[in-house]
Amino acid sequence: MHILLIGDVVGNSGCCFLQERLPQLKRTHQVDLTIVNGENSAQGNGITKHSMEQLFSAGADIITTGNHCFQRREALSIYEKETILRPLNFPDSCPGHGCTIWDNGPYQVAVINLMGTAYMDPLDNPFTVIEEFLPTLPTKNIIVDFHAEATAEKKAKVLSGAPSGVHIRKCWNYSRRAKDRLSSARKRWAISVESRIFTASFTSLPCWKCRKKQKKKLLCRQQDKNRRKNKFFAHAGLDNHALGDII
């Protein structure tokens, strides 16, 4: 079974790009289940009925959200659909639900939307909520979309119910140190839960190739600076060590 998880689709341009590229991507890789985060798919942020329809027409099977899920009050009715999720640890009185079961005939997949609490909204503890919720699921094929900001919260290994996969997304306001720490793993982080290895992917983080290009760019800048300095010294009739004598 091939499962495709796509991070934040931003604005109308992101929805149009997805409509253009996703169908071919699904055919090429024979994708069985496509999960798309759409909490910023509307212009500005949030999700509306129009942006929801764009994502579904592009080929999304399930749409997850995060802390912007209720940003557009006029679109609260969309959470009546089983294939649109809001974080599971939101209060029960909130519209919608945090889990859906995707049935493909021979197998089922449970998709859970979860949100962290560090530097974010004061919700129920996500780890306590999911620990209590996992035993109620009818399948062992479980995908968790965890929307969090703090690096430590993302790296917590407390899911004892052995989910099949965790998709960890960032908020926009993450620190540079956290960004470097996550990107040092080259966008991939292997976690062991009950002797099973699954992969958690980090979206929108620079890979090692990007860092290599950045280092090369800084080196070129330094070399250009040295060339300008040597040219100045040559024009003034001084050598490179004369600056110390002048000072």
Q: Which residues are catalytic?
A: 68
Q: What is the 3-state secondary structure (H, E, C) of the chain?
A: CCEEEEEECCHHHHHHHHHHHHHHHHHHHCCCEEEEECCCCCCCCCCCHHHHHHHHHHCCCEEECCCCCCCCHHHHHHHHCCCECCCCCCCCCCCCCCEEEEECCCCEEEEEEEECCCCCCCCCCHHHHHHHHHHHCCCCCEEEEEECCCHHHHCCCCCCCCCCEEEEECCCCCCHHHHHHHHCCCCEEEEEECCEEEEEEECCCCCHHHHHHHHHHHHHHHHHHHHHHHHHHHHCCCCCCHHHHHC
- Measured distance CA(103)–CA(122) in Å, rounded: 33
- Measured distance CA(129)–CA(15) in Å, rounded: 32
- Biggest CA–CA distance in the chain, Å, is 82
Element (H, E) at 50: helix 49-58
